[in-house]
Structure 1
Amino acid sequence: MMGELRGGAWVVVDSRINSDHIEMYADRTSKGNVLEPEGMIEIKFRTRELLECMGRLDQQLINLKAKLQVAKSNEPLAMVESLQQQIRAREKQLLPVYTQIATKFAELHDTSLRMAAKQVIREVVDWSRSRSYFYRRLHRRIAESSLVKTLIDAGGDHLSHRSATDLIKEWFLDSDIARGKADAWVDDEAFYTWKNDSNNYEKKLQELRVQKVLLQLTNIGNSSSALQALPQGLATLLSKVDPSSRKQLVDEICKVLN
C-alpha cells in the first residue's frame, strides 16, 4: 500500500521484458512510472509551456496582452514597458500555482487505475484481498505452465510458449465447460475443472505428437543418408520396446504403411 515503483527498478520488472511469465499488479493506493511527477513536468511542462498556458487561461493576462497590442501602435514607450512589467509580474505570481497544477496532472498518470487503463499492469488488486487473489492466480499459472510444457513436449521445440498458451486457450474455450461464458478464460475454477480431466485434451495432444513425428520423418525423407540409416534406427527402436507391446507397435506401423 502507498508503494511507488520508479526508474531502473521499473525497467527491471517490466512485464514487457518477459511477458510469458511476468505479470504486474498494483494496489489501489500505489503509484508507478519511470520518472517522478516533478521530473516529468521538467520535460512535458517547461516554463515556456506553462507561460503559454497562462496566456490562454488567465483572464487578467489575456486583458493585459490585449492592451499591450494596442499600446504598441498608439501609446508611448513608457506605457508599453509598464504593461510588459505587469505581464511579467502576473506570470511570476501564477508560475508556482501552474507548476503545482502541472505536477498534480502528472501524478494522475501515475495512479494504479491509470496504469491499468494503459495496460502497464494487469489489474488493480486491493490490499485486503491480495492474499487470496494471488494464491488463486499463482495456482492457475502453475497449472497453466504445466500444461504448456506438456504441449511443447508433444508438439516439439518449434512450438513456442505463446503459441502453446494460445492453443490451450482455444481448446478450453471450445470445451463444454467454457462454451457460452463470456469470461470463461479468467474463471480459474472452470479452468481447473477442465485441466484436471485429461480426456478434455488428450486427443489433441496425440494429434500434436503425430504432427511432430511426421515432421521428423519428413526431415529424414529429405536426407538420403538419413534414409539409409532409417531401417537400423527402427530396428534399434523396436529392440528397446517391451516385448509385450512390440507386436502391437509393428502391426500399427504395417497398418499405416498399407
Structure 2
Amino acid sequence: MTQVIPADPGQPDSAEHLVPQAGQVWFPDSAAKTAQALLDFNREELPLFILANWRGFSGGQRGLFEGILQAGSMIVENLRTYEQPAFVYIPKAGELRGGAWVVVDSKINPEHIEMYAERSAKGNVLEAQGLIEIKFKPDEVEESMLRLDPQLSRLNARLLKEIRTGTSETETVRIRSAMTARMKQLMPIYTQVATRFAELHDTTSRMVAKGVISKVVDWEESRAFFYRRLRRRVAEDSLAKQVREAAGEQMMHTHGSVLECIKIWYMASQGQGDGGQWNDDEAFFAWKDDRNHYDKHLEELKAEQVSRLLSHLAESSDVKALPEGLSLLLGKMNPLKREQVMDGLRQLIG
C-alpha cells in the first residue's frame, strides 16, 4: 500500500510524495477513518461488522506526531459508546494482534459487541517469536537442553566432576567447548519447538477456552450464522427499546438489565425448561411477533413508572405540585383517553 501526499499548490518548490505503508497495520490516517466511521454508524443506528485482520498500529516518531495514539483512543471510545449490535470476526487465515486486539476487544462494550473467529484464524497480543523471547529466554533454553539432552547431561556431569577434583584445566576447557558446540547445534531445534508451542496459544480453540471469543464460526457457515445472529439482536433491541420506554431509564439503566427482564418473560411464557430455549431463535421470533405474550408486562411497567412519578409529586413539599402535575398530564391526553382516566379516578376517590 502507498499513501499519496499531493504537492502544496501554495509552495512552488513542493512535490508529490509517495509513502509506503505495510498491510494489516493501522496508520494515523486509516485509524482516524475507522474511528469516524464508527461514530457515523452509531449516529445512523446501523449494525456494525468488523472483519478484523490487523497486526497492530504503526509505531515510530512520525506516527506519534501524526496522532496515532489519539486515533486509537477514539476507536476505543466510539466502540465503548456504540449502542447498536456489533460483531467482530477474525476471518479465514486472518490474525489479530497487538494494539489492534486491544481496541476491538469485546470487553470494551460487552453488552453490544460479540467476538468470533474462523477456525484457521490466529489471535494474541504478542506473536509467537516475540512471546518466546520474553517467556523462554536463552538461559532457560540452555537449562532445558541440560535437562533433556543425554549428551549434554553427560558432558555436564563430567564438567562438574572435573571442577570438584580440579585435576586438569585443559580437560575442563575441552568439555566446556564441547557443551557450547552442542548447545549451538540444538538451539535452532529448541527455538522451533518453543515457537510452535507458543503458536498453539494463538488458535481459536484456545481463544474459546479463555473466553476472549464467543464461538468458532467456519468461513463457509459465516454468512448464514451472522444473518441469524443479527436478526436475533435486532429483534431483541427492538423489544428492549419498548421495555426501556415503558419502565423509564431509572429502572432499566443498562442494556443487560433490559435483556434479563425480557429473558424472564420469555422463559415464563415457555413453561419449565432449561436455558437452551432462550437460544432458539425461531421460537423467540414467534414469541415476539405475538404481543399478547408481553403486552401485559409492558402495561405493568408503565403503571409502575406513573406510580413512581405520582409518588414523587405527592412527597413534594409543594401541595400544588400533584394537582398541577395531574392537570398537565390530563391536558396532553386525547378526550376519549382523558375521560377514561377521569372515570378511573372517580372510582378510586369513591
The TM-score normalised by the length of structure 1 is 0.91
Out of 299, 307, 314, the residue aligned to residue 206 of structure 1 is 299
Q: Which amino acid aligns with 1:195?
A: K
Instruction: Show the counterpart of 1:124.
Output: 216
Name stretches of at least 5 consecutive residues in structure 2 with no aligned partner.
Answer: 1-91
Residue aligned with 1:25, SS = strand
Aligned equivalent of 1:111? 203
What residue in structure 2 maps to residue 22 of structure 1? Answer: 113
**Residue identity opposite 1:104 in structure 2:** R
Matching residue of 1:96: 188
> Bigger CA drift: 247-256 or 112-121?
247-256
CA change 1:81–1:175 in 2 (3 A) is farther
- Assess, with a 3 A threshold, how the Cα gap between structure 1 residues 23 and 256 changes in structure 2: closer, same or farther: farther
Asked if structure 1 preserves the Cα contact closer than 8 Å seen for 2:310 and 2:322, the reply is: no
CA contact (8 A) 2:240 2:258 kept: yes
How many residue pairs end up in the alignment?
Answer: 256
1:195 alignment counterpart: 288
Match of 2:137 in 1: 46
2:123 matched to which residue of 1? Answer: 32
Summarize the Cα distance change of 1:97–1:243 in structure 2 as closer, same or farther, 3 Å threshold. Answer: same
Match of 1:163 among 225, 236, 257: 257
**Residue 141 of structure 1, CA deviation:** 0.6
Q: Which amino acid aligns with 1:184?
A: Q
**Structure 1 residue 182: Cα displacement:** 4.9
Structure 1: give runs of 5+ residues left out of the alignment: none
- TM-score, normalised via structure 2 length: 0.68
Any idea what SS the aligned residue of 1:105 has?
helix
Answer whether contact 2:118 2:219 (CA < 8 A) is retained: yes
Report the Cα distance in structure 2 between the residues aligned to 1:186 and 1:231, rounded to whole angstroms: 48
The aligned residue for residue 144 of structure 1 is 236
Residues 146 and 152, structure 2, Cα contact 8 Å, conserved in 1: yes
In structure 1, C-alpha distance between the alignment counterparts of 2:141 and 2:348, rounded to whole Å: 78
Q: In structure 2, give the amino acid aligned to 1:156.
A: G
Q: Report the counterpart of residue 279 of structure 2 in structure 1.
A: 186
* Match among 267, 282, 287 for residue 173 of structure 1: 267
Give deviations 1:183-238, integer Å, cap 9, x for gaps.
2222111111112112212222222222222333333344313x422211211221
| Aligned counterpart for 2:161 among listed residues 70, 76, 80 | 70
Separation (CA, whole Å) in 2 of partners of 1:43 and 1:97: 18
**Structure with greater proportional helix content:** 1
Match of 1:239 in 2: 331
Distance 2:235 2:101 in 1: 28
User: Going by fraction, where is strand more abundant, 1 or 2?
Assistant: 2
Distance 1:148 1:44 in 2: 46
Determine helix, strand or coil for the equivalent of 1:23: strand
Identity of aligned residues (%): 50
Q: Distance in 2 between matches of 1:139 and 1:255?
A: 46
Output the CA distance in 1 between the equivalents of 2:177 and 2:312. Answer: 83
Q: In 2, Cα distance between the equivalents of 1:175 and 1:56?
A: 63
Query: Which deviates the most, 95-104 or 46-55?
Result: 46-55
Question: How far apart are residue 85 of structure 1 and its match?
Answer: 2.1
> Residue 166 of structure 1 aligns to which amino acid in structure 2?
E
State the structure with bigger RCO (CA 8 A, min sep 6), 1 or 2: 1
Moved more, 36-45 or 204-213: 204-213
